[in-house]
């Protein structure tokens, strides 16, 4: 029996990631939404420059350009997501370890979070240029604060009894973190990752509106050119990217912390 289990970190029963019933329900809801969308365009005769039908998007969009833009956005999103969450979690570890460090890092993080990313975009562009590096930085800025707050809450959620037990066992500060605080913070950390997943895609696309490239730039350029089918293809691909990243986080969570109870 490991020390983690001795310290009453609850174990949950293993559950299948996706059951056939839930998968069918999800696919049915998605198919129904597409059918309603298609019928609404036909019945109400909505002009394609306002809302094209799904069939028009599938047949008339420039999917080659859209998929190329998706690859660029996906790479920037992944890099920003990883970097932002690492910085957020390390920041939470530092803040929880020392009040002095907390008084230095936390106010700065709060001020940085309160500034709209759009307002920071010109400075980011000057520092990192008009390219993928700027979009990675924007994504990292968006995701790091939720990870910082949630991870800090998890690190501080350890019961006094557990910490007293570590003192009785003569554990060092590093051992207390490795055996108690960090495992206790993982459920909150993964909750932050689920929140950050779609936000990272949004952050990258917002940056791409400004610096160019990727799905964000494609949305703007195709809209200005009245190529609404291509614009909507970019929107659809961005939603798929966000859902895929969220699903990856969910799989990692269920694999990494099988002992935690989740709703």
Each residue's pLDDT tens digit, 244-259: 999 999 899 988 887 6
Residue 74 in any domain: the answer is yes
Residue 7 in any domain: the answer is no
Buried b (16+ CB within 10 A) or exposed e, 100-126: eebeebbeebeeeeeeebeebbeebbe
Q: Are 12 and 186 in contact (CB under 8 A)?
A: no
Structural domain count of the chain: 1
Residue 252 in any domain: the answer is yes
Residue 37 in any domain: the answer is no
Q: What is the pLDDT of residues 143-169, one digit of tens each?
A: 999 999 999 999 988 887 888 888 888
Q: Identify the pLDDT of residue 11.
A: 47
Residue 48 in any domain: the answer is no
Considering the entire predicted model, what is its pTM? 0.85
Q: What is the pLDDT of residues 89-111, one digit of tens each?
A: 999 999 998 888 888 888 888 88
Question: Domain containing 124 — which CATH number?
Answer: 1.10.3720.10
Q: Identify the pLDDT of residue 261.
A: 52
Residue 250 in any domain: the answer is yes
Give the CB-side neighbour count of residue 175, counting CA atoms within 13 A: 11
Q: Identify the pLDDT of residue 157.
A: 86
Q: Which is more confident, 132 or 10?
A: 132
Q: Identify the pLDDT of residue 20.
A: 72
How would residue 263 be classed by pLDDT, with cut points 50, 70 and 90? very low
Q: Are 219 and 230 in contact (CB under 8 A)?
A: no
Q: Domain of 185?
A: 62-256
Q: What percent of the chain has pLDDT over 70?
A: 91
Residue 242 in any domain: the answer is yes
The encoded tokens of residue 73 equal 């956005």
Residue 22 in any domain: the answer is no
């Amino acid at each position: 029996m490991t020390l983690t289990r001795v310290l009453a970190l609850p174990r949950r029963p293993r559950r299948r990631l996706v059951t056939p019933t839930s998968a069918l329900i999800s696919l049915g809801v998605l198919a129904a939404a597409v059918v309603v969308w298609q019928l609404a365009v036909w019945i109400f005769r909505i002009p394609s420059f306002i809302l094209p039908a799904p069939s028009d998007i599938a047949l008339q969009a420039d999917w080659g350009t859209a998929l190329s833009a998706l690859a660029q956005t996906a790479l920037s999103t992944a890099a920003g997501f990883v970097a932002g969450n690492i910085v957020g979690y390390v920041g939470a570890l530092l803040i929880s370890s020392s009040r002095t460090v907390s008084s230095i890092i936390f106010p700065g993080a709060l001020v940085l979070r309160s500034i709209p990313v759009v307002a920071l975009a010109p400075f980011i562009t000057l520092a990192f240029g008009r390219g993928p590096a700027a979009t990675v930085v924007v994504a990292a800025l968006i995701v790091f604060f939720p990870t910082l707050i949630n991870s800090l809450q998890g690190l501080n959620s350890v019961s006094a009894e557990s910490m007293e037990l570590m003192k009785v066992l003569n554990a060092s500060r590093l051992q207390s973190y490795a055996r108690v605080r960090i495992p206790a913070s993982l459920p909150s950390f993964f909750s932050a990752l689920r929140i950050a997943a779609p936000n990272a895609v949004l952050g990258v696309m917002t940056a791409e509106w400004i610096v160019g490239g990727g799905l964000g730039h494609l949305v703007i350029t195709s809209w200005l050119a009245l190529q609404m089918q291509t614009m909507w293809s970019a929107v659809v691909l961005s939603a798929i990217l966000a859902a895929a990243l969220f699903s990856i986080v969910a799989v990692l969570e269920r694999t990494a912390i099988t002992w935690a109870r989740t709703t």
